[in-house]
A = this chain, B = another copy of it.
């Protein structure tokens, strides 16, 4: 399933905002006339992409995915080299999310989606014990994976050292932190927010390397936010601060 993109909004997003190579699009016969399906067909025609309407029977093998009547065969998503990202010039500060062992592809996709809405620059994730960018991640991201730099690294601790050498501040989420996520100032610095694994949180090695540790306060003893929701809460605190304090944000 690596090289599929499915779902109407996702395929539209792919055709509109990605330079990935689409080799073929298949569509469900019964969906002819749907406005988004029409849009997809028009774009395919414009771009000279082969497309084909298929019967329900031919779509049976895709029943397990919520394809909404359209599947695009596509070249794999492009990662960017870490060093190339660091070398990129930017007038404003760079903002990054690091996932340290986020294994659920829905969570991974959802985090990327929020990061893109918030104008973040990159997602950094380790090559092992973390979801890779597959079709499920792409679907959960609503196509956002095409709008942000994706950086896969072999060693997260080394990547963090390198970020620090490049004037990034490292902010780790930690259930035992003293500071709340809104106690720190996200403006006027390059920063990377580290989100941890679904059960274990951010690993101790990474916590030790962090400049800030922040927690999300709980108002009950039920201390169990979903990691993608937790990421959204922190990311949007940074957005709010950037809008309120800097004015000029992206």
Residues of A whose CB lies within 8 Å of any CB of B are 9, 106, 110, 113-114, 116-119, 140, 142, 144, 147, 180, 182, 216-220, 222-226, 228-233, 236-237, 239-240, 242-243, 249-250
Check B119 against A225 for contact (C-beta < 8 Å): no
List of B residues within 8 angstroms of A144 by Cβ: 222, 224
Check A225 against B113 for contact (C-beta < 8 Å): yes
Q: How far is the CA of A18 from the CA of B236 in the complex (A)?
A: 33
List of B residues within 8 angstroms of A114 by Cβ: 225-226, 229
Q: Given A224-B142, A226-B110, A232-B232, A117 and B239 touching (CB < 8 A)?
A: no
Q: How many copies does the complex hold?
A: 2
Check B113 against A226 for contact (C-beta < 8 Å): yes
Given B106, B119, B217, B237, which contacts A106 in the complex, CB threshold below 8 Å? Answer: B106
List of B residues within 8 angstroms of A118 by Cβ: 218-220
Check B222 against A116 for contact (C-beta < 8 Å): yes
Closest chain B residue to A111, Cβ basis: B229
Check A239 against B217 for contact (C-beta < 8 Å): yes
Q: How far is the CA of A44 from the CA of B239 in the complex (A)?
A: 47
Show 8 residue pairs from A and B whose CB-CB distance is below 8 angstroms, ordered by the A residue: A110-B226, A113-B225, A114-B229, A117-B222, A117-B224, A117-B225, A118-B218, A229-B232
Check B182 against A220 for contact (C-beta < 8 Å): no
Check A243 against B226 for contact (C-beta < 8 Å): no
Given B217, B231, B249, which contacts A219 in the complex, CB threshold below 8 Å? Answer: B249
Q: Given A182-B240, A233-B236, A117 and B228 touching (CB < 8 A)?
A: no
Q: Which 10 A-B pairs have the closest CB atoms?
A: A119-B219, A229-B232, A233-B236, A142-B224, A116-B222, A119-B220, A232-B232, A219-B250, A117-B218, A110-B226
Q: How far is the CA of A225 from the CA of B119 in the complex (A)?
A: 12
Q: Given A229-B228, A229-B232, A219 and B106 touching (CB < 8 A)?
A: no
Closest chain B residue to A220, Cβ basis: B119
List of B residues within 8 angstroms of A229 by Cβ: 110, 113-114, 228-229, 231-232
Q: How far is the CA of A218 from the CA of B117 in the complex (A)?
A: 5
List of B residues within 8 angstroms of A117 by Cβ: 216, 218-220, 222-225
